[in-house]
Structures are given as C-alpha cells and as structure tokens.
C-alpha cells in the first residue's frame, strides 16, 4: 500500500517533547507522554520521519553543541526502540540576530533533507507548534499541522489567509488520530 506522505517533518520542542526553554542537558529532555503513541499511529501515513529544529541556544551560549548531539542520539534511540524510522535530525544553531536560510522559517533545512533522502516535499507534512514551523511548509507546498502544545496556542490566530496551517490540533496525539481517521 502506498503511504500518504513521503515523510513527516517534526519540530522538536513543544511538538514531541515538553518545551521548558533551552534544553541544555539530556536529563532535562522529556518526550510528551503521548508522543510515541502518536508517532506510532502516524506510521500508517509514512515510513519516514525527520526532525527539523532551531536550536539557537548553542549560539547564545546556553547549550553546548555536544550536549545537543547527546539529546539527538537519545531521540534516535527512542525512535529506533519503538520501530519508528527517524531518517535524520536537522538543527540550526543560528542566533536570531544573524540568521541563514537554514533557520526556520527559512527553508534550507527542508530542501537539504529533500535532496539527502530524495523526498518530494509536496508529498510531505510538517507538524510543529509555531508559525516558524508552518511558514516554510507553506512556502514549499507541504501540508502543515499546528499543534497547540508548546507555543501553538500563542500562534494559532497569527496567520494571514495564505499562511494558515492545513490542520490545527490540540497536540500530536489528537492530530495523529484526526489524520488516520
């Protein structure tokens, strides 16, 4: 059976894990209780997941990149242990005052992922809790879902007509349930 999406892109903080600010240590990283269940449901729609995350805490001096890499390794293990195909984690450490096209809402991390994994972005979905997650999806012709966990509640009414996400859900689990109906 053909899957609906080539890949589901996920934001990290506020989407799959509790956003407590700049997460600088592995012991401070906590998946939402529902995250793995939701991702397992989404496997019906795709074989592939990629995390795309801004991590300016590194350039702000709040996070050591080696600790970010440890967190990423933990995420890979958690996905693997639960038979979830996490292709990659793309992160941008740009400071908001000195951004490249990699920092969301820039599209460069998505374009890089599409080249690295031969993905048709118009057949992908982006799930995140911020306007900066939804805008690159719109730019690239991807479907998008805003989750109200994390910062989503703050952003849900900030979109103009052509920026609006395709879906708005309470959280990743509610969104997964709605998508697989």
Q: Which residue among 11, 94, 129, 133 is the active-site one? A: 11
Q: Which residue among 6, 13, 88, 94 is the active-site one? A: 13
Q: Confirm whether 11 is a catalytic residue.
A: yes
Side-by-side strand order, sheet with 86-92 = 86-92, 49-54, 7-10, 124-128, 143-147, 167-169
Helices assigned H by DSSP within the chain? 35-42, 65-81, 108-117, 131-139, 152-155, 172-180
Please list the active-site residues.
11, 13
């Amino acid at each position: 059976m053909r899957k609906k999406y080539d890949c589901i892109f996920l934001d990290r903080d506020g989407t799959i894990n509790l956003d407590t600010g700049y997460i600088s240590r592995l012991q401070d990283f906590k998946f939402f209780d529902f995250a793995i269940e939701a991702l397992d449901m989404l496997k019906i729609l795709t074989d592939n997941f990629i995390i795309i995350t801004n991590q300016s805490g590194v350039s702000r001096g709040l996070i050591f990149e080696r600790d970010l890499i440890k967190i990423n390794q933990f995420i890979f293990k958690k996905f693997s242990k639960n038979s979830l195909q996490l292709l990659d984690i793309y992160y941008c450490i740009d400071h908001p005052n000195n951004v490249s096209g990699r920092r969301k809402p820039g599209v460069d991390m998505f374009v890089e992922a599409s080249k690295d994994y031969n993905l048709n972005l118009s057949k992908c979905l982006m799930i995140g809790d911020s306007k900066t997650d939804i805008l690159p999806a719109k730019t690239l012709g991807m479907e998008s879902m805003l989750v109200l966990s994390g910062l989503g509640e703050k952003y849900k009414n900030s979109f103009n007509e052509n920026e609006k996400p395709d879906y708005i859900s309470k959280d990743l689990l509610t969104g997964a349930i709605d998508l697989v109906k």
